[in-house]
Structure 1
Amino acid sequence: MSKNSNSLTQLALQKFKKNFWGVLSFWLIVAIGLVSVFAYVLAPDNSQNANQMHLTIHSKKPGFKVNILTIPSEINNNQSFLSKIFYGEKNTDTEIPISEFKVNNDKLVYTEYASDGLIGVEKEIALSTFPNQDFKPFIKERTFLFGTDKYGRDLLSRVLIGSRISFFIGFIAVFISLVVGIFMGSLAGYFGGVVDTIVMFIINVTWSIPTLLLVIAIILALDKGFWQVFIAVGLTMWVEVARVVRGQVISVKEMQYVTAAKALGYTDFRIVTRHILPNIMAPIIVISAANFAAAILIESGLSFLGIGAQPPMASWGAMIKDHYNYIILGKPYLAIIPGLCIMILVMAFMLIGNALRDALDVKN
C-alpha cells in the first residue's frame, strides 16, 4: 500500500514537472513568497510600511532621481535586528529632497526640491547637527525605479511590501477554509441523514449570499483591520471546499477498505482522518489553488473599497484605489503597476491549479 502510494505520488510529480506553465508558476510563487517575507530587506525605503513621504516629489515618473538630505534625530531607536527585517525600521530621521546645497561658515545651506521649474525654499542647518560635522554621508542621490505615488512615497517599496498582504491572505484564508470546509463536508458526507441535511442547509444559505457582501458583513462585525480581512475571507470560502469534500466522502465511504476499517472496530474519527481524507486530497488540493487566487482578488477588492488593510499599510488594492484617477491624468503606471502584480500572482495560482489538476488526474 505504501509503495503504491509512493509510486502514484512520484507519477503525479513527474507529470507536474512536464507542465512548463505549472513549474514556471510554482517558482514564480516561491519568488513572490520570498520577496514578501524579506520585503523590508529588498525595499529601498525600509521604514515601516514604506511610509516615508516627500510631498515635493509626488507622482514622479519611473527612474526619477533626486538628492535626499537626511537630518539625524536625537531619539534613540532601540529596535532589534529581526524587528527591522520583518516589521520595518522605525525611522525617526527627517528626509528632505534637495536640489542644491553648500557650506556657509558652520552651516549647511540647502535648497528644497521644487518641481515644475520652480525654485525651492532655501534653508540652513548647523553642521553640529551631524556627527563630527560631516554632512556628506547624509546627502545621497536616490533613484525611484517605479517613481513615486501621490504622497511622494517610493512606489517600488510600496509594491514590495504590499505583496505581503496579497500573498499571505491566500495562505491564511485557504487554511481557514480548509479547516472549516473539510470538517463540515466530512460530517455531512460520512454520517448523512439529519447531519447531512443540517450541514447542506448551512452551506446553501451561505452559498446564496454574495461573497463580497458576506465578507463586508463579517468585517463590519469584527471591525476593519488586517487580521479581520483574513478571517472574513476564509470564513466565506469554506462552502466550496465543504461541497467537494462531501461529494468525495459519499463516493468513497462505500469502498471496501472503509468497510474493512469499520469491521475492525476503528472509530469514525480514525476512519475519516486516516483512511478517507488521504484518498480524496487530489480535488481538495486543486480547489485550494483556485481559492488562493479568489482570496487575493477578494482582498484587493476590499482594499479598493477602503474596508481592507487600513492606511498606512501597503496593499496592492489600496494602491489602485489611491491612483485609479491618474489613469486619465497621464500617469497610469501608478495604478497599472499594482494591477499587474495582482494579475501575475492570480494567474500563477490559476496555472498551478490547472497543472495540479492534470497531474493528479489518474485517468491521464
Structure 2
Amino acid sequence: MAILTKKENTVASRPPSYYIRQRLLQNKPAMFGLFIILFSVVVALGGYALMPDSTPNANNGLVQIQKKQPGFTTQILSITRERAAAEKVNPLQFILAGQPADLTEIPIESYTFKGDSLLVQPLRSNNAMADQVRAFALRDVVENPGQYADNNAIVEVIKKDYISQKTFWLGTDKAGRDVLSRLILGTRISLGIGFVAVLISLVVGITVGALGGYFGGWVDKLMTFLMTVVWSVPSIMLVIAISLALDSKGVWVAFVAVGLTMWVEVARVVRGQILGLKEKTYVEAANVLGVTQSGIIIRHLLPNMIGPLIVIATANFASAILVEAGLSFLGLGVQPPAPSWGMMVNEGFQLIGAKAGLFLVVLPSICISMLVLAFNLLGNGLRDAYDPKIPLSNG
C-alpha cells in the first residue's frame, strides 16, 4: 500500500479552484488583458477626479482652440463669475457628475497691465483674423477684490492664479473640448454599458435557458422558439424597436437595448449544460429527498455552470462595447453631450479633411480596440483555465 508524503497529500487535496487560478496566472496574454481591464476600471471610477476638464460631460468647449492637434499649448485667462448655490457639489457628486465651471476661460496670445485694466490679445481661431484687444477691469477678474490692498496686489494674484499655461495632451475636438477628458469619461460609459448589458443578458439568459433545459417538453419548445426569433433579428433593429417602444434615446436606453440583444447566447449555453447535468445522480438524489425544482436549479445545477458562464460573460462584455460603439457611431446610442467612443469616432470621421481629424478618429478607435482585445484575451484565458486537460507548467 503506497504511503503519500505530507507534500504529496497537500498537492492531492488542493481544490479545483487552485488549478484554475494557477492556469490563469500562467497565461500571460490573459494577465495583460486583466491589467488593461483593471486599469480601465480605475480610470472609470476616478472619472472627473482624473480629467483635466472636470465639467459635466467634459463639455467645456473653447471655440478658439477647436480641432487642435495633440500637445497643443496655450495661455488661458480665467475670469471669476458668479456661481449659484445649487451648482456647489460635494466630493461624491464631483466624482460621479463633475463640477460646473466657476471660471470663464479665454485662450489668449499675450497680455499686459495698464492702470487698473488688464489688456489681452485673444488667441486667433483657425484660419481667422486676430480678434481685437480686450480690456478687463482688474477687480472684475478676481474673486472678492475688496480683500486686496491695491491694484498691485491684484496684479500679482492674477499673474499667479488667473493666467496659466494649459496643454491639451490629446488635442481638442470640433467644439474645442479636451479629447483626453472625453476619452476618460468615455471609459466609464463603455464599461458601464458593458456591465449592465452583461448583467441583463445573464439574468434573462439564465432564466430562459434553465426553464427550457430543465422542464423540457412544451416549455423547452417555447423557449427555443423565443431564442430563435430574437437570434434572427439584427441587433440594430432590436435597439431601434426598443428605443421606439420607450420613446427615448440615451445612455439608459442604450444599456437596456444592448443587454436585451445579448441574452440568447447565454440561454443556449445554459440550456445545453442543464440538459446534460439534470441526468446526473445528485439531481436524482435531490428529487428523492424532496428538494423543490427551483432549489435543484438554483442550488445544484447553476453552481456547476459557473465556469462557462464566466467565460461567456467576458466575451459578451467585449461584444457589448463593440455594439454600443457602433450604435453611438450611427447616432442610435449615447446622445450628446455625453462622450462615447463611438460618437467620438463619428465626429472625427466628419473632420477627416482637417489636420486633427485623423487623431479624432484614431484615438477613440485605439481605446475601443484595446478594451475589446483585453476582454477577449481574458475570456480566452478563462476558457483555458477551466479546461482540466491543460496541464500546469512547472514554473
Displacement of 1:101: 0.8
1:20-48: CA deviations, max 9, x gaps?
01011111101101101112111111111
CA drift at 1:284: 1.3
Give the corresponding residue for 2:6. none
Name the TM-score, length of structure 1 as normaliser: 0.96
TM-superposed CA distance for 1:147, in Å, is 0.7
Check if 1:348 corresponds to 2:374: yes
Aligned: 1:360 with 2:377? no
Please tell me whether residue 292 in structure 1 is matched to residue 300 in structure 2.
no
Q: Does 1:128 align with 2:139?
A: yes
Match of 2:271 in 1: 246
1:178 is aligned to: 202
1:282 Cα shift? 1.4
In the TM superposition, what is the alpha-carbon distance from 1:4 to its structure 2 partner?
A: 9.6
Unaligned runs of 5+ in 2: 1-10, 149-153, 391-395
Give the drift of 1:120.
Answer: 2.7
Aligned partner of 1:99: which letter?
E
| Correspondence for 1:70 among 43, 64, 78 | 78
Q: For 2:234 and 2:91, how far apart are their aligned partners in 1?
A: 44
CA contact (8 A) 2:201 2:259 kept: yes
Q: Is the 8 A contact 1:36 1:160 kept in 2?
A: yes
Aligned to 1:79: 89
Partner residue in 1 for 2:349: 324
Q: Residue 17 of structure 1 aligns with which residue?
A: 25
Q: Is the 8 A contact 1:59 1:147 kept in 2?
A: yes
1:231 match:
256
Q: Distance in 1 between matches of 2:68 and 2:30?
A: 37
**Partner residue in 2 for 1:166:** 190
SS state of the match for residue 259, structure 1?
helix
2:235 alignment partner, one of 211, 215, 224: 211
The one of 193, 204, 222 aligned to 2:217? 193
Unmatched tracts of structure 1, length 5 or more: none
Aligned-residue CA RMSD (Å) = 1.6
Cα distance in structure 2, aligned partners of 1:276 and 1:138: 64
Q: Percent identity?
A: 46
Q: Distance in 2 between matches of 1:315 and 1:5?
A: 49
- Show the counterpart of 1:55: 63
Letter in structure 1 aligned against 2:312: I
- Structure 2 Cα separation of the partners of residues 124 and 362 of structure 1: 75
SS class of match (1:108): strand
SS of match in other structure, 1:326: coil
Return the alpha-carbon distance in structure 1 between the equivalents of residues 236 and 16 of structure 2: 39
Are 1:202 and 2:226 matched, yes or no?
yes
Q: Which moved more, 1:79-88 or 1:291-300?
A: 79-88
Within-5 A mapping of 1:80-95: 80-95=90-105
Give the letter aligned to residue 46 of structure 2. Answer: F
Tell me the amino acid that sits aligned with residue 78 of structure 1. Answer: K
**Amino acid across the alignment from 1:288:** A
Letter in 2 for 1:88: G
The letter of the residue matching 1:286 is: V
Higher Cα Rg, which structure: 2
- Which digits, 9 at most, give the CA deviation of each residue in 1:238-281, with x for residues without a partner? 11100100000000000011111111110111111111111112
Q: CA deviation at 1:313?
A: 0.5
Match of 2:3 in 1: none
Pairing partner for 1:145 from 158, 166, 169:
169
Does the aligned pair in 2 maintain the 1:177–1:235 contact within 8 Å?
Answer: yes
Contact in 1 for aligned 2:69/2:355 (Cα 8 Å): no
Partners of 1:62 and 1:144 within 8 A in 2: yes
Equivalent residue in structure 2 for 1:108, among 97, 110, 118: 118
1:31 equivalent to 2:55? Answer: no
* 1:362 shift after superposition: 2.3
Deviations 1:267-314 (A, max 9, x none): 111111111111112111111111001100110011101121111101
Contact preservation (8 Å) 1:327, 1:333: no
C-alpha distance in 2 between matches for 1:95 and 1:35: 26
- SS state of the match for residue 33, structure 2? helix
Deviation at 1:5, TM superposition (A): 10
1:311 aligns with 2:322: no
Q: What is the number of residues matched between the two proteins?
A: 362
Relative to structure 1, the CA distance from residue 5 to residue 86 in structure 2 (aligned partners, 3 Å threshold; closer, same or farther) is farther
Displacement after TM superposition at 1:91 (Å) = 1.1
Distance 1:107 1:13 in 2: 67
Distance 1:246 1:309, change over 3 A: same
Aligned to 2:164, the other structure's residue is in SS state strand
Letter in 1 for 2:313: S
- Indicate the SS of the match to 1:74: coil
